[in-house]
Amino acid sequence: MALISWNESLSVGVDTFDDQHKVLIGHLNALHDAMRNGKSNEIITKVLDGLVKYTVYHFTSEEKAFEQYDYPDADKHKAEHQFFTQKAIDLQKQFQAGKLFISVDVLNFLMDWVQNHILGSDAAYRSFFAGKTVKAEE
Ligand SMILES: [Fe+2]
Ligand SMILES: [Fe+2]
């Protein structure tokens, strides 16, 4: 499975969110590395925690900007965020309970989802945010 590397084709035209997507992809790649290198459960737990926390932070940043500017597709977009957050939290819980091995399928799912979301729903807000100031969530 290929690691994702951020490149211009993933740009959504909002610097704040491009920067956050780079960090989010970094968390996914860290999980991929930890799995490939057979890292301990303790380390994988930390990497998963980091991924979940950053995912929530990033989604919150986008959603605050949607609210601030009254983005018309906010509800549908937020539902997608909720779906993925729940999925990531479920994986985290299953892993902690010893019921999940972070498999290639799990990683593929996470990476594909994030990539498709950036290229689809996130890229869709490009023209809406053009010329608007978007700050990262504190
Ligand atoms: Fe999004
Ligand atoms: Fe995003």
Residue spans per domain, the chain? 13-129
If pLDDT is split at 50, 70 and 90, which confidence band does 2 have?
low
* pLDDT of the residue at 35: 87
Q: How far is the CA of 58 from the centre of ligand 2 (A)?
A: 7
Q: How far is the CA of 72 from the centre of ligand 2 (A)?
A: 16
The domain defined by 13-129 folds into Four Helix Bundle (Hemerythrin (Met), subunit A) (1.20.120)
**Separation CA 11–CA 78 (nearest Å):** 20
CB atoms within 10 A of CB 106: 17
Q: How far is the CA of 108 from the centre of ligand 1 (A)?
A: 18
With a CB cutoff of 8 Å and minimum separation 6, the contacts of 30 are 47, 50, 51
**Separation CA 105–CA 87 (nearest Å):** 13
* pLDDT of the residue at 135: 84
Q: How far is the CA of 100 from the centre of ligand 1 (A)?
A: 26
Dihedral (CA of 36, 117, 129, 12) sign:
positive
Quick: pLDDT tens for 32-82.
999 889 888 999 999 999 999 999 999 999 999 999 999 999 999 999 999
| Ligand nearest to C-alpha 82 | 1
Query: Is pLDDT of 1 > 70?
Result: no
Name the residue with higher pLDDT: 112 or 4.
112
**Separation CA 42–CA 14 (nearest Å):** 35
Quick: pLDDT tens for 95-109.
988 877 778 888 899
Average pLDDT on 81-91 reads 95
**Separation CA 94–CA 77 (nearest Å):** 26
